[in-house]
Each structure stands twice: as structure tokens, then as C-alpha cells.
Amino acid sequence: MIMFIVNPSSGNGKGRIVWDKVESRLRRDGIPYTVVLEDTERQSVELAAKELERGHVKAVAVVGGDGTLHSVLPLLAGGSIPLGLIPAGSGNDTARAFGIPKQPAAALDLILSLRTQPADLLKAKLATGEELLTLTALAIGLDAAVAEDVNVSGYKKWCNRFRIGSLAYIIGLLRALARYKPEVVKVSVDGKEHVFRASWLSAVTNVSNYGGGLKICPEARPTDNRLHVCIVHDCSKIQLLRVFPTILNGSHVRTRYVTVLSGKNIQITAGRSLPAFGDGEPVGHTPLSSSVVPGQLPFITAGVSG
């Protein structure tokens, strides 16, 4: 039996609409399923955990966005139960990374195929000792400030309503940039330290894209057993705005304001405490360390995209 974990509020209500379509298909075709559809993320995770303990679930499918998927990672990491996704969020970076179709019917067909690929996870350790799992990326600094602004904004709802969710991140950038100041940041990759005098952001990634399709680390793959980190540094606000459009196709990595590093363990410290977001959700502040956890998640995928 497949367990569907549904976030009805994702994508400004898109989650509910998508689930209605999926459930109609499941009933029509007589496909056995169970659904977790609760008011809060905490309730959904608790109920999903109980369903998994019963031992009748052969696969889990999330109907929602990257944040919803993020919440269920601790339930399935290191296990054998496949995880699938029917995208219904605003950013949908996980769907891009794994080649998952936007259309609910096509995404459901993929889940029913149970065709999996072992995916790496990113494990972050905070200064408090708390450890968190992330599938796509850790956004640190300006990009985290953007994610924070987008998550609490009213414009995100309107962007989702008109199906231009990625525009919300551009609006968030302009708003956050007006008040954000760069900071001295130290990035240690597998023990080798790199110092950036005026860093705007440090994005530690397990996949190539984040922020609604921004190709932040073009070479990153969730199957390469490595983490990648992109640091944007030593530029003015005007120069940063000029670099930003090139992130859409990944050509920003060729500018002198961008450094991309790769390794299995990455630590980031800064002159002041910087916010960090994982899979678009707040996870804490610097200092923090991150490491790759290879092949820990059997993910239902059409193929990893670049």
C-alpha cells in the first residue's frame, strides 16, 4: 500500500487541488492507498510514523513542496521504503532535480512504477549539537534572508495564484538586498579553509538548483556522494544584481565574484550569526557543519537532471 502525505496548503492551496485529482485516479483504478492529511506538519509526521510502524506501507508519496518533503526525511532516511513526490509547491526544486513531471497524473504514474535511485542526503550539525537532514540545499546568509522574507510574505501567495512561484524569490531578493550587509565568512572543505572578506551568501547543495529553479551549483548531483558550496563574495549590490540573472543558467560560476567548492564535509562560520534554511525551511544559524550521507534515501525518480 502507498501512503500519501498531503500538504493541502502548499502552493497557496495547490496541494489540495492536486490531491483531489490524484485521489480520483486512485479510486477509479482501484489502487490501494492510505492518506495522511492533517492541519499541521507535526500532526502529519506523527501520524505517518504510526502508519509506518504498522508495516503495511510499501512506499511513501508526498503531495506538496520541498518543505513538506523535508519534514518526512527523518522517517525514511537509511531505510528501504521508497519516497516519491507529486509536486505542488512554489519552488519545486526537488522535482526538478529528480526529473519529476509537473503534471499530477504523470507524477503518479512514476510513483506507481516504484522505480528508485539511491539519493544522497545532506546532514547539517548546528552549534547546539542538533542534527538535521536536508535533500536539496542549505541556504546561508542573503539567500536564507530571501527565503525568510518569501515565507512570511503576502506576495508569495499572489505569485503562486498566477503560477509564477519563482517570481516570489526574485521579489524576495530585492527586498532582502535592501537591508542585508555582507560578512566575513570562513568555509572549510574537507579540512581546507577558505576565507571570504565580504560574503553575501554560501549555498551548500546536494542538487544543482534551489530557490525555484536557480542553478546555483550546476555540477551538483544527489548521487555523486559529494556536497557542493557556492559562495558569492566581494561585490557591490549593483554587481550582485548583475550576477543574479546568470544563476538561471549557471553561468555565474565563471564570474570573479563566485567561488564553487566541493567535498564531503563543509563547515561555515561567520563574523556574525547568519540564518540558515534547509529545503526552504529555517534550520538555525551559523556556525554549522554539513556532511554528505551517501545513498541513504531510495527516491522514486525519472532520472537525476543537471
Grid coordinates standing for 141?
Answer: 546568509
Q: Where are the domains of the chain?
A: 2-119, 123-295
Amino acid found at 68:
T
List the one residue out of 148, 153, 288, 138 whose CA is nearest residue 228.
138
Amino acid found at 31:
I
Report yes or no: 134 and 122 within 8 Å, Cβ to Cβ. yes
Does CATH number 2.60.200.40 belong to domain 123-295?
Answer: yes
C-alpha distances in angstroms, 200 versus 79, 175, 196?
37, 14, 10
Question: What SS3 state is found at 18?
Answer: helix
Regions in the chain scoring below 50 on pLDDT: none
In whole angstroms, give the CA distance from residue 265 to residue 89.
Answer: 30
Per-residue pLDDT at 169: 74
Q: What is the CATH number of domain 2-119?
A: 3.40.50.10330
Terminal CA-CA length for the chain:
32
In whole angstroms, give the CA distance from residue 217 to residue 262.
Answer: 10
Domains 2-119 and 123-295 share a fold: no
In whole angstroms, give the CA distance from residue 24 to residue 30.
Answer: 10
Per-residue pLDDT at 166: 63
Report yes or no: 207 and 292 within 8 Å, Cβ to Cβ. no
Per-residue pLDDT at 162: 57
Q: What is the DSSP letter of 154?
A: S
- Other beta carbons within 10 angstroms of residue 125's beta carbon come to 16
Per-residue pLDDT at 156: 64
